[in-house]
Amino acid sequence: MSTAATAPPTTSAPPTWALRTEGLGRIYGDPGPASLVGTGPDFGTEISPATGAVVAAWDVGFEVAPGEALGIIGESGSGKSTVMRCIAGDEQATAGTIALRGVGDGTVNIRDLSPTARRKLRLQQISAVYQDPAAGLNLDVTAGGNIADPLTAIGWRNYGSIRQRAAELLQRVEVPVGRMDDAVRTFSGGMRQRVQIAKALANDPPVLLLDEPTTGLDASVAAGVLDLLRHLLEETGIAAVVVSHDFGVIDLLTRRVLVMQHGRVVESGLTDQLLEDPQHPYSQQLVAAARG
Amino acid sequence: MTTPHTTSHTTPHTGPAPTPAFTPTAIPAASHQAGRAPADPPTDLPSDTVLSVRGLRKGFTLHTIDGRTVDALHGVDLDVAPGEHVALAGTSGAGKSTLLRCVYRTYLSGGGSIWFRTAAGDLRDVAALPDAEVADLRGQEIGYVSQFLRPQPRRSVHEIVTSAGTARGMTRAAARTAAEAALHQVAIAEHLWDMHATVLSGGQKQRVNIAAGTIAPPRLLLLDEPVSALDPANRAAVLDLIARLKETGTAVLSVFHDLDAIERLATRVVVLGGGRVLAAGPPSDILRDSNLPLEVAR
């Protein structure tokens, strides 16, 4: 894989994408080339027969433009959430480039940054919404307190302004502002997810990562959260990556999609093309299963 | 997008022999990655041709059914100029809808080119463009109206038509006004406008679909049986709407179920059979040719 993205650019024009990955990989265990042999879709496993290492994701490359949503679909263990966590900085990728237009006009491989610098990116450059609200929120803290967290972390000090911003965000995600001072633990699943989304949007990040954002919610509650996300993605210029095993979610939220299996991307395409004319055997299986 | 996902195996494989997940169906990665190498644009095209299909092929490999292959198009050539309405005719299974879907890139074509001239005057091969560029063209320049509205859930009729207008560059206010005019044109009663489109009848959905498809008309509009579920009065209203697209210079490529609609709207008819062009010409000639396999007799 090329490492061109780390080289200084010859022109100063910023890239058209908000997020770009190239050759992204994450191996648990021996990271050497021996671990790759015998893994991937052609071999039906992500576990290296030689070293026992788990090649959770390998050679994943894509670009997401501002205002665009890209889906990553695959079953459990396909590596889709690993890709998301490597971009978010929740775990360190073994190989590859991750670049953000907001960081050095896309010339910096953020994988090379220190853990402290990575954590800072999470405040203003990349936000993540997880399937489990407990992963993104402190359930014992109030909704307002959770949303205030990323604000105070970048220097908001005025109590009134913070409360006003929190109220705005709660309105945007359709949580009654009157619940602002209740602990999130007292909220229903759907409301918790909305608070998590509000927190993720607090500092208007250009990149939003959504990992199974509606999985685990009742169908009617999930529908409400999906509608909210769809509106947010349409109305903001945010670049989104939506990780899901559910073609319904991918279909509703994204215009392009990658299909992952055993840690590798097996197919990429426009979302409707993937659904109507899937090419790879695994994509065809997934679509056939989704159709019932 | 990166290059195809092939990993170079530089280290000798020492572990136990792996079991391939899918047996002999080794597909070259390029066949399921969008954006194959574009061919050179044809040099003999009139400078205003909006769509020029050359040697288009399409087959399906059904990996879930023994890897069976189904061939749908075997090298189709076709041009559409601004203001022209080209209707595809032929029996069921002739490849009419497949052709429309290839042009919209809902299907990946298996060979040939689909040249589309953009508003800026450039020729782009839709069959080979990167996904993101196709998505941009779809938003602004290429529209598709299918016989089925698959409405986004929990979205109002008015919003669906309005957002089709904003997607093609209208301001929100202008799109709202134009949406109202379009909904009146296709006789969708005002009390339905704020209802979710999912609860409408099939015929109402179809009319909302055509209203959304023709608001701020794209340069190329693909119509796949857009009046199949309509009663005679509504059908006439929608056919009027489509007929007026000629005035806006929209290039139309259509599939209609009935020959009356073709006769009324088409400037040219292309008859497909077995995935090939069998005949092409003005509707007056083609529709009266009893030797051609046309789907429905009048």
Q: Per-residue confidence at A12, pLDDT binned at 50, 70, 90? A: low
Q: Per-residue confidence at B297, pLDDT binned at 50, 70, 90? A: very low
Is the CA virtual torsion B291, B294, B297, B298 positive or negative? negative
Which string of b and e fits B259-272 if b means at least 16 CB within 10 Å?
A: bebbbbbbebbbbb
* Contact residues, chain A, for B105 at CB < 8 Å: 270, 273
pLDDT of amino acid B293 = 80
Which residue in the set A61, A264, A268 is minimally distant from B131, CB to CB?
A: A268
> Does pLDDT of A221 surpass 70?
yes
pLDDT of amino acid B229 = 86
Instruction: State how far residue B15 is from chain A, nearest Cα, in angstroms.
Output: 5
- Considering chain A, what is the average pLDDT of its residues? 93
pLDDT of amino acid B46 = 84
B46-134+264-298: which CATH topology?
Answer: Rossmann fold (3.40.50)
A223/B18 Cβ within 8 A: no
B27/A44 Cβ within 8 A: no
Instruction: State how far residue A124 is from chain B, nearest Cα, in angstroms.
Output: 26
* Contact residues, chain A, for B16 at CB < 8 Å: 49
Residue with token string 């390998």: A58
Q: Which residue has the higher pLDDT, A252 or B10?
A: A252
* Contact residues, chain A, for B64 at CB < 8 Å: 281, 284-285, 288
ipTM for the predicted complex comes to 0.87
Could you give the CA distance from residue A233 to residue A20 in angstroms, rounded to a whole number? Answer: 18
> Does pLDDT of A2 surpass 80?
no
B15/A50 Cβ within 8 A: yes
For A65, the closest chain B residue by CA position comes to: B132
For B67, the closest chain A residue by CA position comes to: A281
Instruction: State how far residue B289 is from chain A, nearest Cα, in angstroms.
Output: 35
Average pLDDT over residues A226-248: 92
Which residue in the set B15, B25, B26 is minimally distant from A49, CB to CB?
A: B15
- For the beta sheet containing A126-129, the strands, ordered from the edge strand earlier in sequence to the opposite edge, are A126-129, A207-211, A239-244, A69-73, A256-261, A264-270
Could you give the CA distance from residue A187 to residue A179 in angstroms, rounded to a whole number? Answer: 9
Q: Per-residue confidence at B139, pLDDT binned at 50, 70, 90? A: confident
- What does the pLDDT look like over B51-72, one tens digit per residue? 999 999 999 999 988 888 999 9
Helix runs in A57-142, H state only = 80-88, 115-124, 133-136
> Which helix (H) or strand (E) segment is B77 a member of?
strand B68-80
**Domains defined for chain A, CATH in brackets:** 10-125+205-291 (3.40.50.300)
Residue with token string 């496993």: A45
What tokens does A163 get? 């409360």
Which string of b and e fits B97-107 if b means at least 16 CB within 10 Å?
A: bbbbbbbbbbb
Phi-psi region of A280 (alpha: psi -120 to 50; beta: other; left: phi over 0): beta
| Spatial CB neighbours of B122, under 8 Å, sequence gap ≥ 6 | none
* Contact residues, chain B, for A34 at CB < 8 Å: 11, 14
Is the CA virtual torsion B89, B93, B99, B101 positive or negative? positive
pLDDT of amino acid A178 = 96
* Contact residues, chain A, for B12 at CB < 8 Å: 37
> Does pLDDT of A43 surpass 80?
yes
Mutate one of A30, A264, A273 to test the B interface: name it (highest B CB count within 10 A).
A273
The C-alpha angle B180, B182, B184, rounded to 5 degrees, equals: 70
For A266, the closest chain B residue by CA position comes to: B5
Is the CA virtual torsion A66, A68, A70, A71 positive or negative? positive
pLDDT of amino acid B153 = 78
> Does pLDDT of B10 surpass 70?
no
pLDDT of amino acid B154 = 81
Mutate one of A229, A268, A271 to test the B interface: name it (highest B CB count within 10 A).
A268
A227/B31 Cβ within 8 A: no
A266/B108 Cβ within 8 A: no
> Does pLDDT of B141 surpass 60?
yes
B132/A65 Cβ within 8 A: yes
- What does the pLDDT look like over B77-111, one tens digit per residue? 999 999 999 999 998 889 999 999 999 999 999 99
A284/B32 Cβ within 8 A: no
pTM metric for this prediction: 0.88
Task: Judge contact between A229 and A198, C-beta under 8 A.
Answer: no
The C-alpha angle B147, B148, B153, rounded to 5 degrees, equals: 155
What is the secondary structure of A154-222 as a DSSP string? TT---HHHHHHHHHHHHHHTT--GGGTTSBGGGS-HHHHHHHHHHHHTTT--SEEEEESTTTTS-HHHH
Lowest mean pLDDT among A58-72, A83-97, A227-241, A252-266: A227-241
pLDDT of amino acid B66 = 86
Could you give the CA distance from residue B83 to residue B90 in angstroms, rounded to a whole number? Answer: 23
> Which helix (H) or strand (E) segment is B72 a member of?
strand B68-80
Q: Per-residue confidence at A107, pLDDT binned at 50, 70, 90? A: very high
What tokens does A68 get? 């665009």
Average pLDDT over residues B282-294: 85
Residue with token string 């009935």: B258
Instruction: State how far residue B20 is from chain A, nearest Cα, in angstroms.
Output: 4
pLDDT of amino acid A10 = 54
β-pair partners for A126: A207
Could you give the CA distance from residue A141 to residue A147 in angstroms, rounded to a whole number? Answer: 10
- What does the pLDDT look like over A129-186, one tens digit per residue? 999 999 999 999 999 999 999 999 999 999 999 999 999 999 999 999 999 999 999 9
Distance of CA A84 to the CA centre of its chain: 5
Nearest in space to A115 (alpha carbons), one of A84, A91, A81: A91
- Considering chain B, what is the average pLDDT of its residues? 85
- What does the pLDDT look like over B12-38, one tens digit per residue? 444 444 443 333 333 333 334 444 666
Nearest in space to B227 (alpha carbons), one of B257, B201, B264: B257
B1/A270 Cβ within 8 A: no
B107/A273 Cβ within 8 A: yes
What tokens does B227 get? 């009046």
- The neighbour count for residue B246, using CB atoms within 10 Å, is 16
Nearest in space to B147 (alpha carbons), one of B210, B220, B96: B210
B10/A33 Cβ within 8 A: yes
Task: Judge contact between B250 and B80, C-beta under 8 A.
Answer: no
| Spatial CB neighbours of A126, under 8 Å, sequence gap ≥ 6 | A19, A87, A88, A89, A100, A205, A207, A208, A209
β-pair partners for A28: A54
pLDDT of amino acid A99 = 98
Mutate one of A1, A37, A259, A265 to test the B interface: name it (highest B CB count within 10 A).
A37
pLDDT of amino acid A290 = 87
Residue pairs spanning A and B at CB distance below 8 A? 128
pLDDT of amino acid B30 = 38
Q: Per-residue confidence at A102, pLDDT binned at 50, 70, 90? A: very high
Q: Give the rounded percent of residues in chain B with a pLDDT score beyond 90.
A: 66
Domain spans, chain B: 46-134+264-298
The C-alpha angle A125, A128, A134, rounded to 5 degrees, equals: 140
Average pLDDT over residues B161-173: 92
